[in-house]
Amino acid sequence: MNFDLNSEQIQIQDSFARFFADGAKSHSRALKNSSKNIRELSHAAAEMGILAMLFSEENGGLYSSPTETMIAMEEVGKSLCNIPLAETAYACRILDKADDFAGKDELIASIISGEKTISIAFDEFNNRSNGAIVKTNENNGVINGVKTNANFENDYFLVNAQMTGGKIGIFLIANDAKGLNINKFMTHDTSAKCDLYFENVGAVKICNDDNVVEYAKDFAIIALCYEAIGMMRMITNLTSEYLKTRNQFGVPLSSFQVLQHRAVDMLIETEQALSIAIYASLLLDNDDIEARKIAVSNAKLRVNNAAKFVSQQAVQLHGGIGMTDEYIGAHYFKRLTLFCNMMGDNYFHLNRLNLEKDILEI
Amino acid sequence: MELEFTKDETAFRDEVRNFIETEMPKDVAFKMAHDRELEKEDFIKVHRKLYEKGWATAHWPKEYGGADWTPVQRHIFGEEMQRASLPMPLEFNANMVGPVIAHFGSKEQKEKFLQPTASLEIWWGQGFSEPGAGSDLASLKTTAVRDGNEYIINGQKTWTTLGHFADWIFCLVRTDPTAKKQKGISFILVDMKTPGIEVRPIITVEGNHEVNEVFFDNVRVPAENLVGEENRGWDYAKFLLSNERFGIAKIGVAKQRMQRIKSYAKTPDANGEKLWDDAVFRARFLQTAADIKALEITQLRILAKQQGHDSDAPDPLTSMLKIKGSELQQATTELLLEVAGKDSESPQIREIYKSGNQDFEWLDAVASSYFNNRKLSIYGGSNEIQHNILSKAIMGF
């Protein structure tokens, strides 16, 4: 039993911490125009080797364990960099285990180098079950339907669609494909998102193994959790610093016990969130799929709860300042709020746990 | 990063599990598993078996009966005991006064006390809290005045857990009333048969006799019973409390109770309905289970850190284990009470199971366990005190 990073991972952590802290100067979600040049940051991140960590050696990558990606995600969270890395990881982990198709090696090589970008387009509008029901369909290599909430600024999308016979397949579609219309929008956390309208779009099937997709999703969920933990860590620190420096009634706010205890509760929630995310990350590559699913849903559930508590208390303890657009903590608050609904809200994960046999055995 | 125990650790766990399975009294485990009060003899039965195996005082210095366990081994032992619903070796002996005498006691004290303390031939009580000294323990007022070869003790201790079973009591007493708070306190050992001691029961909310008041009226104690140096008692008390960190979160107990909650909730009622099928109940259950899992890993993270550094210094993160551990224990007793519902108070149901119907036996102590376990967030440094510790040590307030 050991929860320390190895020396190589510590190096990775140091270099990502610097990279994202630096990147935040021009790509922080607190900046209005941060969604304009996501590609620039993605390209630089790929050059740092972040995407290589998502592909196995046989595909030209450096994958060794989920931990390296999780380290990067925590730094993304701390820095508040506007980069949809968890969604990219989702697509990359599918691609890594995908069937062979023409041009696969070249595609993966161009993604690892940062020359091309890829993400997922799985969400559909008014679909509370978070992707369990797919109305987009494929017939003879042609896709019709609508996807929502995909990340914009990507060269390729992985799209799931119902095939003839009802099975779900994953299809590769370029962003300039004929018959694809894209409607861009920006969310509260300044993510560049889009809706995708498919009208007889030709597509290549790359995978129809549900286990691969579910694995990749679990991987991405935990990646997202680590981003949230980085954010929680940061706003807990910001809050404690604020309490020490802000004076009222002639004394620092940190001298009031009720505020001290609330800040301690933020710390406890962050540590509990980290613990369960660590646990799930160590089970991602486990052969016991049921154990993995339980761990991942437990993690998202627990991290969601922590994210809500910590982000709400950060705003509360900052008082009026916490409500302002100018204050960086407010942007962490928004991102953490949206996080709770991404890749499965509490209702989704409670339902997923309900399907499992015995969550306490594991 | 590695979640698994080493080969040796797994082998040790299997050894503990096997010993518990073959050697431990099943009737005690049954009582504990159903949250019932244990008799004095129950504690002794379990403790003696462990003593004979060399496990009652495994964490003591090796020369006094310790087994040189690593922090992980100690953790595994605790988890397995909790998993099997067994009481740990009596903490007043094994975790409190024993290590203090072993580290700070005189040669004579070691010879006289360590062996019977380890074997539980002497049952120790803890005389720390007073009516006016709870969270603010250092404000204690019980005095010990030197008179020739004796100390004369006057005052009152309270919340003395299982003090009615105690043969001896270790007390914090004020030996220098002029010194500042923590400075004038000494650590002294007192025979409960000494004239002038009176033990009065305190009945707690659930109706049980677990704690006591202990009155000292001109109690004459030989001066040789003072541990270490006069007026250094606070240091020894701090050393003693640092031993409390192990197993403080009682994850094994929470998990065992969750299993029971689940199996009871899956039992159909008279209408054939199960609480388990209620989505609201199940959501609460699952949320609690996720919280317990998180705390289990938090505990392992702290443990792995201790294992790596092998330090005796108290880790402030232990306060986190105390806070979350007690909250989750309480959450499980609350869920259990919800599963039992109004039947937990029904005399009719009690008659049914007393006549031999074991289906309802579990209802017996559900409510009293809920009431009793409210103590968890109050004793051992209340959760508010633990917040103060974290606030100072980690947040730097």
The enclosing domain of A148 has a CATH number of 2.40.110.10
Q: pLDDT tens digits, residue range B58-90?
A: 999 999 989 989 989 999 999 999 999 999 999
Structural domain total, chain B? 3
Q: Based on the domain organization, do B75 and B146 belong to the same domain?
A: no
Q: What is the DSSP letter of B266?
A: T
The residue among B2, B3, B277, B305 with the most chain A CBs within 10 A of its CB, best to mutate, is B3
With CA atoms as reference, report the closest residue to B290 among A85, A352, A74: A352
CB contact under 8 A, A268 and B390: yes
Q: For residue A263, what are the domain limits? A: 211-361
Partner residue facing B323 (CB), from A65, A268, A360 = A268
Q: Which portions of chain B are predicted below pLDDT 70?
A: 244-246, 310-314
Q: Based on the domain organization, do A268 and A165 belong to the same domain?
A: no
Chain A CB contacts of B6 under 8 Å are: 1
CA distance A355 to A301: 15
Q: Would B238 be classed as within a structural domain?
A: no
Q: Based on the domain organization, do A347 and A331 belong to the same domain?
A: yes
pLDDT tens track, chain A, 362 positions? 899 999 999 999 999 999 999 999 999 999 988 888 889 999 999 999 999 999 999 999 999 999 999 999 999 999 999 999 999 999 999 999 999 999 999 999 999 999 999 999 999 988 876 667 799 999 999 999 999 999 998 999 999 999 999 999 999 999 999 999 999 999 999 999 999 999 999 999 999 999 999 999 999 999 999 999 999 999 999 999 999 999 999 999 999 999 999 999 999 999 999 999 999 999 999 999 999 999 999 999 999 999 999 999 999 999 999 999 999 999 999 999 999 999 999 999 998 888 755 555 54
Q: Would A276 be classed as within a structural domain?
A: yes
pLDDT the model gives residue B51? 97
Q: Based on the domain organization, do B204 and B142 belong to the same domain?
A: yes
What is the DSSP track for B330-363? HHHHHHHHHHHGGGGG-HHHHHHHHTT-GGGGGG
Q: Based on the domain organization, do B63 and B162 belong to the same domain?
A: no
Q: Would A191 be classed as within a structural domain?
A: yes
Q: Distance from CA of residue A137 to its chain's centroid?
A: 26
pLDDT the model gives residue B186? 98
Q: Would A327 be classed as within a structural domain?
A: yes
pLDDT the model gives residue A357? 55
Do residues B221 and B188 touch, judged by C-beta distance below 8 A? yes
φ/ψ of B123, rounded to 5, equals -100, 125
Q: Would B348 be classed as within a structural domain?
A: yes
Q: Which CATH number goes with the domain that contains A265? A: 1.20.140.10
**Quick check: B259 contacting A, CB < 8 Å?**
yes
pLDDT the model gives residue B310? 59
Q: Would B96 be classed as within a structural domain?
A: no
Q: Based on the domain organization, do B277 and B346 belong to the same domain?
A: yes
Q: Based on the domain organization, do B274 and B379 belong to the same domain?
A: yes
CB contact under 8 A, B298 and A275: yes
φ/ψ of B220, rounded to 5, equals -95, 120
Q: Based on the domain organization, do B325 and B278 belong to the same domain?
A: yes
Q: Would B223 be classed as within a structural domain?
A: yes
The residues facing B203 across adjacent strands are B209
Q: Where are the beta strands (DSSP E) in A108-239?
A: 118-121, 137-139, 142-151, 156-162, 168-174, 180-186, 192-202, 204-207
Question: Within the 67-106 window of chain A, which residues sit less than 8 Å (CB to CB) from chain B?
Answer: 67
Q: What is the DSSP letter of B43?
A: H
Distance (Å) from the alpha carbon of B279 to chain A's nearest alpha carbon: 9
Q: Would A1 be classed as within a structural domain?
A: no
| B197, B231, B265 - which closes a domain | B231
Do residues A217 and A89 touch, judged by C-beta distance below 8 A? no
Q: Based on the domain organization, do B75 and B129 belong to the same domain?
A: no
Distance (Å) from the alpha carbon of A31 to chain B's nearest alpha carbon: 29
Q: Would A280 be classed as within a structural domain?
A: yes
Q: Based on the domain organization, do A244 and A201 belong to the same domain?
A: no
Q: Based on the domain organization, do A202 and A215 belong to the same domain?
A: no
pLDDT the model gives residue A333? 98
| A208, A232, A258 - which closes a domain | A208
Q: Based on the domain organization, do B377 and B292 belong to the same domain?
A: yes
**Quick check: A7 contacting B, CB < 8 Å?**
no
Q: Based on the domain organization, do B223 and B254 belong to the same domain?
A: no
Nearest chain A residue (CA) to B261: A360
Q: Based on the domain organization, do A109 and A156 belong to the same domain?
A: no
Q: Which CATH number goes with the domain that contains B307? A: 1.20.140.10
Q: pLDDT tens digits, residue range B3-32?
A: 899 999 999 999 999 999 999 999 999 999
**Quick check: B277 contacting A, CB < 8 Å?**
no
Q: Based on the domain organization, do B347 and B220 belong to the same domain?
A: no
Q: Would A2 be classed as within a structural domain?
A: no
Q: Based on the domain organization, do A198 and A219 belong to the same domain?
A: no
Q: Based on the domain organization, do A356 and A235 belong to the same domain?
A: yes
pLDDT the model gives residue B269? 84
**Quick check: A276 contacting B, CB < 8 Å?**
yes
CB contact under 8 A, B294 and A240: no
Q: Based on the domain organization, do A107 and A152 belong to the same domain?
A: no
Q: Would A48 be classed as within a structural domain?
A: yes
| B182, B207, B231 - which closes a domain | B231
CB contact under 8 A, B1 and A301: no
Structural domain total, chain A? 3
Instruction: State the average pLDDT for chain B.
Output: 93
Distance (Å) from the alpha carbon of A260 to chain B's nearest alpha carbon: 6
pLDDT the model gives residue A359? 55
Do residues B121 and B87 touch, judged by C-beta distance below 8 A? no
The residue among B253, B295, B297 with the most chain A CBs within 10 A of its CB, best to mutate, is B297
**Quick check: B283 contacting A, CB < 8 Å?**
yes
**Quick check: B2 contacting A, CB < 8 Å?**
yes
Q: Based on the domain organization, do B220 and B266 belong to the same domain?
A: no
Do residues A302 and A254 touch, judged by C-beta distance below 8 A? no
Q: For residue B197, what are the domain limits? A: 124-231
CB contact under 8 A, B289 and A282: no
Q: Based on the domain organization, do A109 and A166 belong to the same domain?
A: no
CA distance A230 to A237: 11
| B231, B257, B286 - which closes a domain | B231
Q: Would A86 be classed as within a structural domain?
A: yes
Q: Which CATH number goes with the domain that contains A95? A: 1.10.540.10
**Quick check: B295 contacting A, CB < 8 Å?**
yes
**Quick check: A267 contacting B, CB < 8 Å?**
yes
Q: Based on the domain organization, do B366 and B257 belong to the same domain?
A: yes
Q: What is the ipTM of this complex?
A: 0.94
Q: Based on the domain organization, do A190 and A173 belong to the same domain?
A: yes
Q: Based on the domain organization, do A222 and A247 belong to the same domain?
A: yes
Chain B CB contacts of A267 under 8 Å are: 320, 390, 394-395
Nearest chain B residue (CA) to A277: B294
| A83, A113, A143 - which closes a domain | A113
A/B interface, count of CB pairs below 8 Å: 122
**Quick check: A337 contacting B, CB < 8 Å?**
no
**Quick check: A253 contacting B, CB < 8 Å?**
no
Q: Would B174 be classed as within a structural domain?
A: yes
**Quick check: B301 contacting A, CB < 8 Å?**
yes
Q: Based on the domain organization, do A103 and A229 belong to the same domain?
A: no
Q: Would B239 be classed as within a structural domain?
A: no
CA distance B377 to A12: 41
Nearest chain A residue (CA) to B277: A354
**Quick check: B387 contacting A, CB < 8 Å?**
yes
| A113, A148, A164 - which closes a domain | A113
The residues facing A205 across adjacent strands are A171
pLDDT the model gives residue A362? 40
